């Protein structure tokens, strides 16, 4: 399968380096204030010697590049396109690297995210949500009319949604129809038509709309299961079979308005199943582009995705697996009890919604890093983390503790500027826009 990578304005991405570093950015050295991001990135600063202040969350360059290559290679091997969800990082520099590795486009969930994408010229955008806000639709219509090269598609799941979208777009005189995918949901899931009859009804409504164009079907399996048990995998497979059937029945009804049908699903936990089902042979005459929307792979983690990602699951036969690229560093500020250390990091800095941070190693006053022999995080407050120690003598006030992160999607939003490192050396910065 040959898929043309999406597009991003490289000059706009390069322009990020011209922004001045100042007090808005956590953790950076005060000596960097007033200097351009690109200039500071070129200095080869040491994370622990050159004035960075904790807590610090960093991206490991080698793990990051490994994950980008691994996912791109896997998608090419199994025959799927990739439109990684940008909500994970909201970092145009990382979007550019994903596109460099062959991504078809970038996925968005909100209009505010989409506006960031368009500030950097990104196309195509797969909007994995229903878009029914009249103000947002008016803005989108102007964006589409102003840029004939901008490719956009979104989801729709009800006749009411179709009618609202159509009425708003017709009222503003939109010159280009908005491409849509009918979304199939499931009981207990999120959005999406409940069952094939409801989905086909929505598809017929789209086909009869002058302001919309039916280009595919979509869904999201990740809300239906939360582990890699046999029962969970069976639930996901059954849903994907129904999504496939929706595509076939919609095609048989002659409702699609494009030659190549988009069929999209795929979070970061079950994308192997998505690929397996959507790359099975389609009926004669159906040209299908299967598109994954997995996004967390770019950073991976030491928690939820470490346990459920297809390229990390126990027993995976894949030749290459993801590596955690996010690391947090926090100093020990207090040892008020024999088996307790308080770390200078909290909910403002790291994720806690899908598991607590995992202590990995210690960097002592001598600058040497060694594994943490015994310890676990038991609680996290706004600005403090509780580290329970089984060997109290190995941790002292002033030591730095490296922490692995669970669920990268709720880490990036806490850091408008992330240092990218090789070892302890800063080699770049990544700017996020949440």
Query: Does residue 174 lie within any of the structural domains?
Result: yes
Residue 369 shares a structural domain with residue 423: yes
Strand bridging mode 340-343 / 326-337? antiparallel
pLDDT score, position 188: 83
Provide the domain count of the chain. 2
- Rounded Cα–Cα distance for residues 2 and 17 (Å): 33
Residue 323: strand pairing partners: none
Same domain, 293 and 361: no
Instruction: Report CA 415 to chain centroid distance, whole Å.
Output: 15
Whether residue 315 is predicted with pLDDT greater than 70 in this model: the reply is: no
The residue segments making up the domain with residue 141 are 61-308
405 found inside a domain: yes
Q: Are residues 358 and 390 in the same domain?
A: yes
**CA distances from residue 134 to 130, 150, 275 in whole angstroms, order as listed:** 12, 20, 35
364 in a structural domain: yes
68, pLDDT greater than 90? yes
Mean pLDDT of 287-310: 94
Instruction: Clarify whether residues 30 and 119 are in a common domain.
Output: no
Q: Please indicate, yes or no, if residue 188 is contained in any of the structural domains.
A: yes
Does the pLDDT value for residue 30 go beyond 80? yes
Report which of 313, 292, 327 is spatially closest to residue 64, judged by C-alpha positions: 327
213 with 98, same domain? Answer: yes
What's the rounded Cα separation, in Å, for the pair 414 and 399? 23
Mean pLDDT, the chain, rounded, equals: 96
Task: Please say which residue of 280, 308, 336 terminates a domain.
Answer: 308
Q: 38 falls in which pLDDT band (50, 70, 90)?
A: very high
CA–CA gap between residue 129 and residue 113 (Å, rounded) = 12
Question: Rounded to whole angstroms, how far apart are CA atoms 244 and 274?
Answer: 10
Least confident range from 124-133, 277-286, 301-310, 331-340: namely 301-310
Report pLDDT for 318.
66
Pair 164, 102 in one domain: yes
CATH of the domain at 169: 3.20.20.10
Q: Kindly state whether residues 42 and 81 are assigned to the same domain.
A: no
85-96 pLDDT, tens digit per residue, is: 999 999 999 999
Which tens digit of pLDDT belongs to each residue from 222-275? Answer: 999 888 899 999 999 999 999 999 999 999 999 999 999 999 998 899 999 999
Residues 335 and 220 in one domain: no
pTM: 0.96
Q: Which two tokens stand for residue 223?
A: 């809300």
Pair 310, 318: CB distance under 8 Å: yes
The answer on 48 and 107 residing in a single domain is no
Q: Which of 308, 337, 367 is where one domain is finished?
A: 308
Query: Does pLDDT of 312 surpass 80?
Result: no
pLDDT at 226: 85
Residue 316 lies in a domain: no
pLDDT per residue as tens digits for the range 150-177: 999 999 999 999 999 999 999 999 999 9
Same domain, 137 and 236: yes
What CATH number did the domain enclosing 390 receive? Answer: 2.40.37.20
Same domain, 375 and 298: no
Distance, in Å, from the CA atom of 202 to the CA atom of 183, rounded to the nearest integer, reads 9
- Inside any domain, residue 4: no
Which pLDDT band holds residue 374 (cuts at 50, 70, 90)? confident
Rounded mean pLDDT, 105-119: 98
Instruction: Report yes or no on 371 lying in a domain.
Output: yes
pLDDT at residue 314 is higher than 60:
no
399 and 420 together in one domain: yes
The answer to whether residue 285 scores a pLDDT higher than 70 is yes
72's CB contacts (< 8 A; 6+ apart) are: 82, 101, 102, 103
In a domain, 392, yes or no: yes
Q: Is the pLDDT of residue 213 over 70?
A: yes
107-116 mean pLDDT: 98
Confidence check: pLDDT of 342 > 70: yes
- HEC letters along the chain: CCCCCCECCHHHHHHHHHCECCCCCCCCCHHHCCCEHHHHHCCCCECCCCCCCCCEEEEEHHHHHHHHHHHHHHHHHHCCEECCEHHHCCCHHHHHHHHHCCCCCEEECCHHHHHHHHHCCCECEEEEEECCCHHHHHHHHHHHHHCCCCCEEEEECCHHHHHHHHHHHHHCCCCCCEEEEEEECCCCCCCCECCHHHHHHHHHHHHCCCCEEEEEEEECCHHHCCCCCHHHHHHHHHHHHHHHHHHHHHHHCCCCCCCEEEEEECCCCCHHHHHHHHCCCCCCCCEEEEEECCCHHHCCCCCHHHHHCCCCCCCCCCCCCCCCCEEEEEEEEEEEECCEEEECCCCCCCCCECECCEEEEEECCCCCEEECCCEEEEEECCCCEEEEECCHHHCCCCCEEEEECCCHHHCHHHCCEEEEEECCEEEEEEECCC
Task: Give the per-residue pLDDT at 317.
Answer: 60
* pLDDT at position 313 over 60: no
Q: Which of 254, 282, 308 is at the close of a domain?
A: 308
């Amino acid at each position: 399968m040959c898929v043309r990578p999406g597009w991003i304005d490289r000059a706009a991405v390069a322009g990020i380096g011209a922004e001045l570093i100042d007090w808005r950015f956590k953790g950076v050295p005060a000596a960097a204030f007033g200097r351009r991001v690109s200039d500071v990135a070129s200095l080869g600063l040491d994370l622990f010697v050159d004035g960075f202040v904790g807590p610090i969350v960093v991206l490991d360059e080698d793990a990051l590049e490994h994950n980008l290559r691994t996912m791109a290679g896997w998608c090419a091997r199994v025959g799927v396109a990739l439109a990684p969800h940008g909500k994970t990082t909201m970092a145009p520099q990382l979007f550019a690297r994903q596109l460099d590795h062959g991504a078809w486009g970038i996925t968005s969930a909100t209009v505010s995210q989409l506006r960031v994408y368009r500030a950097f010229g990104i196309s195509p955008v797969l909007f994995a949500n229903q878009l029914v806000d009249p103000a947002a639709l008016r803005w989108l219509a102007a964006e589409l009319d102003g840029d004939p090269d901008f490719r956009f598609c979104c989801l729709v799941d009800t006749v009411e949604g179709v009618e609202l979208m159509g009425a708003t777009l017709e009222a503003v005189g939109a010159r280009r129809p908005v491409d849509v995918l009918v979304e199939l949901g499931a009981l207990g899931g999120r959005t999406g038509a409940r069952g094939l009859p409801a989905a086909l009804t929505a598809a017929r409504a789209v086909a009869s709309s002058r302001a919309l164009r039916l280009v595919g079907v979509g869904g999201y399996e990740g809300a239906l299961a939360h582990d890699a048990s046999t029962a969970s995998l069976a639930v996901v497979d059954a849903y994907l079979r129904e999504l496939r059937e929706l595509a076939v029945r919609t095609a048989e009804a002659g409702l699609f308005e494009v030659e190549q049908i988009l069929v999209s699903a795929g979070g970061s936990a079950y994308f192997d199943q998505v690929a397996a089902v959507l790359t099975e042979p389609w009926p004669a005459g159906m040209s299908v582009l299967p598109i994954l929307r997995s996004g967390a792979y770019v950073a991976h983690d030491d928690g939820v995705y470490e346990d459920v990602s297809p390229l990390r699951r126990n027993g995976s036969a894949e030749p290459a697996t993801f590596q955690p690229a996010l690391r947090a560093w926090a100093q020990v500020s207090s040892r008020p009890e024999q088996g307790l250390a308080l770390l200078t990091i909290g909910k403002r800095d790291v994720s806690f919604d899908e598991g607590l941070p995992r202590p990995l190693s210690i960097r002592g006053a001598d600058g040497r890093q060694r594994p943490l022999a015994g310890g676990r995080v038991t609680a996290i407050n706004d600005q403090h983390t509780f580290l329970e120690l089984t060997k109290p003598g190995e941790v002292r006030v002033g030591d730095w503790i490296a922490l692995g992160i669970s669920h990268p999607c709720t880490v990036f939003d806490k850091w408008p500027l992330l240092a990218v490192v090789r070892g302890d050396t800063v080699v770049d910065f990544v700017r996020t826009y949440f």
